[in-house]
């Protein structure tokens, strides 16, 4: 029951991220993806640090910078670049390949043995997402494809390294999230200033959008995500990722009047089923010695019953 609750809470993070497209297109000023990245990450990070009242110590200064770069500072700009250059949901499909990268890195760096079910779930989820978001005749741009692959690799590496390094003793996920968001926001800030110039004038609608993005879509969502990484396997957490494009499709249908074809509905069912399958607890495997001990114990139990 506790694990189910943890999975459900962690799943709220990618569900929240699925609203990013709607909020960006409906409430925020157009053509300012890097400024939006700064507004999402930096204020949220500073607020979480103030709430946790804890700063990094020792090696955690550079570890926080590395994790902030992987999960936020590099991931956001690469994701936006791929989204701008790849039409027809191709960027979402490249993002859906992230679980496969996490499974490979988790096996290499964490010793998490990749089960056949996890691999099949990751492949099925990516296939289902492609059915939902891909459009016929979608053009492929090399820079966009490379940016999409790099953003997936960045988030995958960030997820695995967050799991590998854990947290300093006595430090909760709130502080760790604040450190990463602040570091990532500071990395994006000079790039945004260089490429996009001065911040745009913001009206009430934009402030509402940025407030939502900062507090819920980023601050709360990443706290739940990193909390989940601390309590679940990296593979289990990453297989929740496909919920993001699925949520975006549902919001597009419900709020923007975008029709869902039968193929898209089937794709959503496949991706959602794969996500659920990825959360089922793995069957415990026993070494040869452990199995022999279990067999001996069962034999003794049977002998006792016969007596």
The pLDDT of residue 304 is above 60: no
Q: What's the chain's average pLDDT?
A: 87
Q: What is the pLDDT of residues 91-115, one digit of tens each?
A: 777 788 889 999 999 999 999 888 8
pLDDT at position 160: 96
**Mean pLDDT in residue range 185-207:** 94
The string of pLDDT tens digits covering residues 30-88 is 888 899 999 999 999 999 999 999 999 999 999 999 999 999 999 988 887 887 777 55
Return d(Cα 153, Cα 186) in angstroms, integer. Answer: 21
* Sign of the C-alpha dihedral computed for residues 146, 152, 156 and 158 taken in this order: positive
Q: What is the pLDDT of residues 7-17, one digit of tens each?
A: 999 999 999 99
C-beta atoms surrounding 74 within 10 Å: 21
Average pLDDT over residues 269-288: 76
Please state the rounded mean pLDDT for residues 194-213: 94
pLDDT tier for residue 269 given thresholds of 50, 70 and 90: very high
Q: Which pLDDT does position 136 carry in this prediction?
A: 60
Alpha helices in 197-261 (DSSP H): 204-212, 221-231, 234-238, 243-255
Over residues 244-271, the mean pLDDT reads: 90
Place of tokens 């496949």: 270
Task: Classify residue 220 as exposed, middle or buried by CB count within 10 Å of its CB (0-12, 13-18, 19+).
Answer: middle
φ and ψ of 17, to 5 deg: -65, -25
Q: Are 86 and 141 in contact, with CB atoms under 8 Å apart?
A: yes
- pLDDT exceeding 90 applies to what percent of the chain? 63
Task: Measure Cα distances from 276 to 9, 22, 77, 124 in Å.
Answer: 14, 25, 30, 11
For the CA atoms of 170, 42, 99, 227, what is the dihedral angle to 10 degrees? 30
Q: Is the pLDDT of residue 292 over 80?
A: no
Q: Which residue has the higher pLDDT, 153 or 136?
A: 153
Rounded average pLDDT over 283-298: 47
Contact 47, 177 (CB under 8 A): no
Q: Cα angle vertex 110, ends 106, 115, to 5°?
A: 50
Residues 261, 258: Cα–Cα separation, whole Å = 10
């Amino acid at each position: 029951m506790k694990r189910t609750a943890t999975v459900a809470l962690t799943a709220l993070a990618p569900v929240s991220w699925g609203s990013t497209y709607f909020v960006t297109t409906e409430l925020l000023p157009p053509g300012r993806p890097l400024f939006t990245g700064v507004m999402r990450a930096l204020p949220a990070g500073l607020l979480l640090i103030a709430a946790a009242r804890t700063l990094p110590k020792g090696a955690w200064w550079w570890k926080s910078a590395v994790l902030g770069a992987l999960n936020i500072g590099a991931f956001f700009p690469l994701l936006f670049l791929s989204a701008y250059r790849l039409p027809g949901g191709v960027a979402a499909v490249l993002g859906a390949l992230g679980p496969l990268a996490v499974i490979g890195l988790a096996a290499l760096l964490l010793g998490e043995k990749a089960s056949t079910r996890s691999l099949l779930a990751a492949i099925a989820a990516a296939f289902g997402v492609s059915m939902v978001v891909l459009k016929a005749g979608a053009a492929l741009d090399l820079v966009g494809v490379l940016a999409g692959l790099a953003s997936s690799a960045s988030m995958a590496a960030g997820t695995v390294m967050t799991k590998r390094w854990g947290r300093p003793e006595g430090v909760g996920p709130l502080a760790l999230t604040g450190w990463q968001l602040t570091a990532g926001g500071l990395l994006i800030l000079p790039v945004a200033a260089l490429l996009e110039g001065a911040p745009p004038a913001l009206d009430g609608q934009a402030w509402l959008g940025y407030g939502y993005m900062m507090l819920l879509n980023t601050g709360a969502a990443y706290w739940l995500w990193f909390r989940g990484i601390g309590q679940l396997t990296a593979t289990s957490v990453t297989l929740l990722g496909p919920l993001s494009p699925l949520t975006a499709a549902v919001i597009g249908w419900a709020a923007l009047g975008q029709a869902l074809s039968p193929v898209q509905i089937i794709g959503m069912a496949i991706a959602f089923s794969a996500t659920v399958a990825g959360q089922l607890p793995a069957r415990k495997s026993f070494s040869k010695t452990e199995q022999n001990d279990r067999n001996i114990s069962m034999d003794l139990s049977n002998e006792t019953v016969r007596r």
